[in-house]
Amino acid sequence: MPTISDVAKLSGLSKATVSRVINNHSYVSKEKKDLVLKTMKEIGYTPNPSARKLRGQVTTTIGVIVPRIVNPFFAYLVDSIEQAAYSKGYQVLICQSHEDRDKEIAFLNLLKNRQVDGIIMTSIENEWQAIESYIEYGPIVLCNEYIENSKVPMIHLNQYKGAYIGIKHLIEKGHKRIAYCTGGLFAEQGKDKDRNQGFQTALKESGIEVEPELIFVNKHTVEDGKQVMKNILKMDDRPTAVFTGSDEIAGGIMMEAIECGLRIPDDIAVMGFDDQPLAELLNPKLTTIKQPVEQMGKKSIEIIIDLLKNPEFKVQTYELPIQLVVRKST
Amino acid sequence: MPTISDVAKLSGLSKATVSRVINNHSYVSKEKKDLVLKTMKEIGYTPNPSARKLRGQVTTTIGVIVPRIVNPFFAYLVDSIEQAAYSKGYQVLICQSHEDRDKEIAFLNLLKNRQVDGIIMTSIENEWQAIESYIEYGPIVLCNEYIENSKVPMIHLNQYKGAYIGIKHLIEKGHKRIAYCTGGLFAEQGKDKDRNQGFQTALKESGIEVEPELIFVNKHTVEDGKQVMKNILKMDDRPTAVFTGSDEIAGGIMMEAIECGLRIPDDIAVMGFDDQPLAELLNPKLTTIKQPVEQMGKKSIEIIIDLLKNPEFKVQTYELPIQLVVRKST
DNA sequence: TTGTAGGCGTTATCAA
DNA sequence: TTGATAACGCCTACAA
């Protein structure tokens, strides 16, 4: 692999001059600049990123932490982030936390180590305080997460509203007994608390009581959805609709329901969350809450780059629109 | 960020000794070793990867090139590779080529630049010759691709057989007019040529002619599948079955067919490829060809690490089993 | 068993 | 406008 010294030697100039050309610094004569450029091309020179990072330059790399890439929601989010980054000359380092606290910390250390210029977090595993302590090493942007009183920019959706309009839709369709699946624990604090509140408010406004046996917590996967449906089938007094936390859970629920001869939405209505490509592939097509993944990715990159270029950049919160997509499952 | 010098100073030892401890070298007294370990923990020291890479050490990083991460097949493949790598102490750098030749070359340059120790390629965009020239910089392993007479290890599936058993299955079910979707161009060479041959052989064995109007080329997405079905619906003499190159195309075909009132498999049988989670979510559940993604990932990592540890490692080809999964769509 | 010193490739500072 | 040089953090000959 040719180095900057090779380029210097071959063009009869100093490393310093070559470096200036590489980094588009001023005070290089057009003549020498062209010579350097030509030589670089000739021997196929590429700057060594490790050396650059070590020297303490900008890395033009942004880390993106996601729980798992096999979750299509995050795959699309990462993809949109990467494309936005690429168009601005940045690389993206994809980091899967696999919901592991230690891995998350290890990725945050990339900031300390100057492996990345900034980090976009799409999920949070550790205490916020621990995470926030890393902002002294570089910008952190929250994408699709929301933390009260944090000092970092957040690009997020109004999850409260998402659940609210979803449940409202079910109520309008005449449902009164609505099962509810959350990824968290239906607690006041923690994951999905905003959605939980949207759910409760919507019910309350229609004078419907929350029935604890219709709340399913810690559900994430297709398999979870199947289990939920199995439980519902055992009930004497079944709910007439199910609101879920993701299209995948909804898919599992539908699969199991159809397997057992139930008709959707006549026997039971099912509602997803995310609006993944899957939603349109299900039969009947899934009514769901659309999250504007592409916009979130683009905005996150925009913000983090602004922050990089101007550390005084005003930290604020961006809320993107979330909307109901009515299809055939409700 | 603390450096090795900080650890050395604080523990009253030299950088060399600290380095030896970090890298588990011999000839360090237990006493000093413990002292160093303690000091490292105290000040939260982590070695700087850039410095290590620059110094020309192993990076314990393996690059994985995929076309796009939003394709679930590749998402699962990457995930299995990452998990296998992690369990052996390696990191994985996920590289999306987005089917761009230049990006692929840029990623190959990671090898030159010593950013990664080796590269696993799950797709190929450039001429093989150009790619192969990079093996002088480090091992390249092909995963899910096959190149005649290459000098690199390959972990792949018998795609010929995949298509063959799929088509055979349809024929056994009594189908004689079978539409065929490929990601490539139905050429003698190039992408999907093995599948194409399996398709043709299976037909020939049953005395069925290939009907050019039933061949759909360059199909990849759900949207493509919908288009294919639209074309089929316009035909006077419709095929009774469709063999596709991925579960997603199959999903698009089913969606459109159902939309237009066709029953699956009675009016038209549909067959996928991959056995993604989606296959079980479709209604009816999709008959498909299962690709052992997890095994492929694991094997690829195994091979590339063997190669890293022993450059004399004998290069060979590994074929993993591919199998038919019969569900309800055929 | 431990320490010293040099160099990996780059960029910034200073001097010319 | 250009060049020499030091420094980023680490590892490894070589010396002690």
Q: What is the DSSP string of A129-191?
A: HHHHGGGGGS-EEEES---TT-SS-EEEE-HHHHHHHHHHHHHHTT--SEEEE-SS-S-SSST
Q: Do domains A61-157+295-320 and A159-290 have the same CATH topology?
A: yes
B19 token code pair: 């380095």
- Tell me how crowded residue B150 is: count the other CB atoms within 10 A of its CB: 18
Angstrom distance (rounded) from CA A81 to CA A155? 12
Tens of pLDDT, residue by residue over B141-200, are 999 998 888 999 999 999 999 999 999 999 999 999 999 999 988 887 777 889 999 999
- Tell which B residues from 93 to 112 touch A, by Cβ distance under 8 Å: 93-94, 96, 109, 112
Biggest alpha carbon–alpha carbon distance for chain A: 87
Q: Which among B135, B96, B138 has a CA at the least distance from the CA of B117?
A: B138
Tens of pLDDT, residue by residue over B272-283, are 999 999 999 898
Tens of pLDDT, residue by residue over B8-55, are 999 999 999 999 999 988 788 888 899 999 999 999 899 999 999 999
Asked if pLDDT for residue A189 goes beyond 80, the answer is: no
The SS3 call for residue B65 is strand
Kindly give, in sequence order, each residue whose CB lies less than 8 Å from that of residue A261, ignoring residues fewer than 6 positions away: none
Q: Are B303 and B141 a contacting pair, CB within 8 Å?
A: yes
* The CATH fold of domain A159-290: Rossmann fold (3.40.50)
What secondary structure letter does DSSP report for A285?
P
B113 close contact with A: CB closer than 8 A: yes
Percent of chain B with pLDDT over 70: 100
- Tell me how crowded residue A212 is: count the other CB atoms within 10 A of its CB: 7
Residue type, B179: A
Predicted confidence at residue B310, as pLDDT, reads 83
Asked if pLDDT for residue B62 goes beyond 80, the answer is: yes
pLDDT, chain B, mean: 93
Q: Are A288 and A275 a contacting pair, CB within 8 Å?
A: yes
User: Between A15-22 and A30-43, two packed helices, what is the crossing angle to 10 degrees?
Assistant: 90
Q: Which residues of A touch B255 (CB under 8 A)?
A: 280-281, 283, 285
Average pLDDT over residues A9-38: 89
Residue of B278, B280, B285, B286 to mutate when probing chain A, most A C-beta within 10 A = B278
Predicted confidence at residue A300, as pLDDT, reads 97
- Tell me how crowded residue A101 is: count the other CB atoms within 10 A of its CB: 13
Banded pLDDT at A246 (limits 50, 70, 90) = very high
A170 close contact with B: CB closer than 8 A: no
Predicted confidence at residue B132, as pLDDT, reads 94
Angstrom distance (rounded) from CA B217 to CA B186? 7
Least confident of A61-65, A254-258, B181-185, B320-324: B181-185
**Distance C14 C1' – A17 CA (angstroms):** 15
Asked if pLDDT for residue A218 goes beyond 80, the answer is: yes
pLDDT, chain A, mean: 93
Q: Could you tell me the CATH superfamily of domain A61-157+295-320?
A: Response regulator (3.40.50.2300)
Percent of chain A with pLDDT over 70: 100
Q: Are B93 and B115 a contacting pair, CB within 8 Å?
A: yes
Phi and psi at residue B83, to the nearest 5°: -65, -40
**Distance C4 C1' – B8 CA (angstroms):** 14
Average pLDDT over residues B301-313: 89
**Distance C15 C1' – A88 CA (angstroms):** 37
Predicted confidence at residue B134, as pLDDT, reads 92
Q: What is the CATH number of domain A4-54?
A: 1.10.260.40
A143 token code pair: 């994408």
A73 to chain B, closest Cα gap in Å: 9
Q: Enumerate the domain spans of chain B.
A: 4-54, 61-157+295-320, 159-290
**Distance C16 C1' – B16 CA (angstroms):** 39
Angstrom distance (rounded) from CA A142 to CA B27? 46
CB contact under 8 A, B72 and A76: no
Residues in chain B: 330
Inter-residue long-range contacts of A4-12, CB under 8 Å, 24+ positions, other chains counted: A4/A45, A4/A47, A6/A43, A6/A45, A7/A36, A7/A39, A7/A40, A7/A43, A7/A45, A10/A39, A10/A42, A10/A43, A11/A35, A11/A36, A11/A38, A11/A39
Tens of pLDDT, residue by residue over A94-104, are 999 999 999 99
Angstrom distance (rounded) from CA A300 to CA A305? 9
Predicted confidence at residue B189, as pLDDT, reads 76
Predicted confidence at residue B311, as pLDDT, reads 77
Average pLDDT over residues B129-152: 92
B203 to chain A, closest Cα gap in Å: 30
Q: How many CA atoms within 13 Å lie on the side-chain side of A86?
A: 14
Angstrom distance (rounded) from CA B219 to CA B144? 18
Predicted confidence at residue A247, as pLDDT, reads 96
Banded pLDDT at A309 (limits 50, 70, 90) = confident
Residue A15 approaches strand C within 7 Å at CB: yes
Predicted confidence at residue B148, as pLDDT, reads 86
In angstroms, the first-to-last Cα distance of chain B is 60
Tens of pLDDT, residue by residue over A40-89, are 999 989 999 999 999 977 789 999 999 999 999 999 999 999 999 999 99
Closest-approach residue (CA) in chain B for A255 = B281
Predicted confidence at residue A29, as pLDDT, reads 87
Q: Which among B197, B178, B305 has a CA at the least distance from the CA of B240?
A: B178
Banded pLDDT at A223 (limits 50, 70, 90) = very high
Predicted confidence at residue A192, as pLDDT, reads 85
Asked if pLDDT for residue B303 goes beyond 90, the answer is: yes
A46, A115, A280: residue with CB nearest B113: A46
Residue A176 approaches strand C within 7 Å at CB: no
Q: What is the DSSP string of A82-133?
A: HHHHHHTT-EEEEEE-TT-HHHHHHHHHHHHTTS-SEEEES---S-HHHHHG
Residue B16 approaches strand C within 7 Å at CB: yes
Predicted confidence at residue B187, as pLDDT, reads 82
Angstrom distance (rounded) from CA B196 to CA B183? 10
Q: Are B270 and B257 a contacting pair, CB within 8 Å?
A: yes
Q: Which residues of B touch A283 (CB under 8 A)?
A: 254-255, 258, 282-283
